[in-house]
Every structure is written in C-alpha cells, then in structure tokens.
Amino acid sequence: MSRNTLITEPLQIPPLETVQGHILHDQKRFPGASGEFSWLLSGITLATKMIQAKIRRAGLTDILGATDDVNPQGEVQQKLDVYANQVILQCLSFRESIGILASEENERPLTLPQRTGQGKYAVIFDPLDGSSNIDVNVSVGTTFSVLRRPETSSNDDVASWLLQPGCKQVAAGYVVYGSSTMLVYSVGNGVHGFTLDPAIGSYILSHPNIRIPEQGKYYSLNEANLADSPAGYTRFVERLRSGGLGQRYSSRYIGSMVADFHRTLLKGGIFLYPPTTEHPDGKLRLLYEANPVAFIAEQAGGLATDGTQRILDLQPTSVHQRTPLIVGSPVEMAEVERCLRATGGTSS
Ligand code: AHM
Ligand code: MG
C-alpha cells in the first residue's frame, strides 16, 4: 500500500493563506530574493499582534489615558502610544535588514549602528494613529512605510534614506484595530487584506486583490473645519450633499484616519483632511500617514493628492512634515479637483 492511499477522504479544511505564506509566495516571483523582506514584515505582524492584544484588554488594565509627555508635534502622548511605539521599535530592531527606524513618537530617527554596511531598508511608522479615540473604544490603527536605501547613500546619511518621495516606497500598509484586527498592505502589485484570527494568532488572507469602487456613497472629513478651508472644499461638499454627482452622499467621520480610510477603500467615496486656518499645511504627516495611505489607494485603483499634486510625488523636506490629504475613488477625486481648480486655490 502506498502512503498516499492512507488519505481516503477529501480534506474538509478550507485552504488558509497566512500573511507569511503570501509574502513567501510573492517573493518567488523575484529570482534571488533573500527572504529578508519577509523577515522584516514578520516584525510588523508580530508587533501589531502585541499591540492589538493590549488594545483588546484596554479597559481592564492600567493602559488607558495620557502620559505626562508630548510627542514631537507637541501632542499629549497616550500610554498606548508609548507602548505601541516601544513594541514596534523592539520587534523591528531585531531585523538585520533594517538600518533606520523613524516614528511619529520620536523626534529623531533611530539609526541602528550595528547594521553599518548591512542595512537595506528604512521603516517609518505611526504606531497608533487616532489614539485620542482609544479611551472611548473607537477604532485606531498603525501605519507603516518601507523605503530602500538609495544605492548612492552612505549608512549615516539619514536624510537621503528617509526623505524620498512616496513613489519610492517598496511596501506600505496599515493595521486597523476595529471590530476585527486587519492588516492591509501592498508591495506594489495590488493590495491584500488579512484578518487576524485570534484563535490561532495568524493573519489570514480575507480580502485578496482589493479594488476601490469607482464611486462611493460616503464622504469623510471634519466638517467643523470646513469654513476654515479653501472655498473649493465647501463647493465640493455642497455638490455631494445636493446630488451633483448623480446621488446624495452620506457623511461618515470617525476621526481615526486609518479607520476612515479603510472604509473608503472598501466602500468607495472620499476622505479629506484639507488645509485649515489652524493647520495651513494640513494636519496629517506625509511620511508615515499620507504616503502609506496614498500608496495603498493607488495600488487599489484610487487617487491621492494634497489638493494640487499627487501625494506620492511630493519631495519630503523633513521627517514630521505635514500635508493636506485628499484620497479616494476616481469619480469623487476628479470632482474635488474640478472644484478646487474652479475656485482657484488650495491654501487656506
Ligand atoms: P494622531 O496621529 O495624533 O492620532 O493624529 C492624526 C489623527 C487622524 O487619525 C485623524 O484623521 C485626525 O487626527 C483627526 O483630527 P481632527 O480631530 O482634527 O479631526
Ligand atoms: Mg497619526
């Protein structure tokens, strides 16, 4: 009897693809791939599983609330901001291919000197985006962007590693800690979503090849700021409210960029954080908020601009620089562009 005849029934277990399996499979397309990149991404998946475990128990342990510190933008740091930051730094600092880590919560990028000569990648991240929502049990997220060291850069030339336009990202994505925990990422060949199965502790492919709908039903922005933004944004929102695009839109705003963007990606529509009087350059940060989201949006068939230019073409000048962010489905993006052009200006 051959060994195969021992299996007499077809298997009843549905096929599962873990994120690790998916990355390894993807890597086979690149001859000579060393596996470093999948090891790097496994640092992100491990860290985000640790973060979600803490978030899931947030009301039960002493982790809610603010610390006495502020971050580089002068915003009060939440205890969970600090925890999430430390976990990501810790998990990624063991990945030999990473030479530089930069975070919203650290004024200066962290160089990993022991990697002199070896570091190939820089990882830039916002460890816990939307953390002001955490005390009231609303979804938050982690965003990340991976850049390759430019061939001509020396190891300690931190600026040339980090200040690359978003079109140079080799991978980017986010984790949304919502009703389930979901990882959405792209290495430049489409967008894939993985839902964490808490029973087995693995991210499982649940949303292969995500495409943003051509048009959606929702727009998403902080409407309290609308009067403080350039007139084109008011005109655009009025068009959406009045049925100017063939239907009346509903408004949805969580105030957690990752959650608002995730809905926009799956359902279509548009997310906007325009310039305001308080934030004339926009509020969101280019390198670790706008760039990853813009990369995912474009890979899924959407668009992302700062009101004038494609986000992924913006040349960064500093690590924590802010930008307006308008991202979404092709139909709404074309309309907002028309409204901004017609009113002649994008600055507040
Ligand atoms: P954070 O990185 O400090 O959490 O700030 C970013 C958050 C985004 O998630 C969200 O889109 C925005 O701030 C909400 O700001 P506002 O309260 O002004 O609408
Ligand atoms: Mg943030």
Cβ atoms within 10 Å of 225's Cβ, excluding its own: 19
- 126 phi and psi, to 5 degrees? -110, 110
Contact 104, 288 (CB under 8 A): yes
Classified as helix, coil or strand, 32 is coil
Q: Is the pTM of this model over 0.75?
A: yes
247 CA distance to ligand 2 middle (Å): 32
Query: Among the atoms of ligand 1, which is closest to the Cα of residue 104?
Result: 2
Give residue-wise pLDDT tens across range 297-314.
Answer: 999 999 999 999 999 999
- What's the CATH number of domain 19-207, 3.40.50.10490, 3.30.1220.10, 3.30.540.10, 1.10.3720.10? 3.30.540.10
Torsion 348-107-256-316 (CA) sign: positive
User: Is residue 252's pLDDT more than 90?
Assistant: yes
Give residue-wise pLDDT tens across range 63-94.
Answer: 666 776 776 677 767 788 899 999 999 999 98
Residue range(s) occupied by CATH 3.40.190.80 in the chain:
218-342
pLDDT of 135: 84
Residue range(s) occupied by CATH 3.30.540.10 in the chain:
19-207
**Across the chain, what does the average pLDDT equal?**
90
Give the CATH number of domain 218-342.
3.40.190.80
Ligand 1 pocket check for 126: Cβ under 6 Å: yes
10 CA distance to ligand 1 middle (Å): 50
Nearest-angstrom CA–CA distance, 147 and 167: 10
User: Is residue 18's pLDDT more than 70?
Assistant: yes
Cβ atoms within 10 Å of 177's Cβ, excluding its own: 27
* Angstrom distances, CA of residue 281 to CA of 14, 65, 71, 278, 307: 49, 28, 19, 9, 11
pLDDT range class, residue 155, cuts 50, 70, 90: low
User: Is residue 1's pLDDT more than 60?
Assistant: no
Query: Among the atoms of ligand 1, which is closest to the Cα of residue 75?
Result: 3
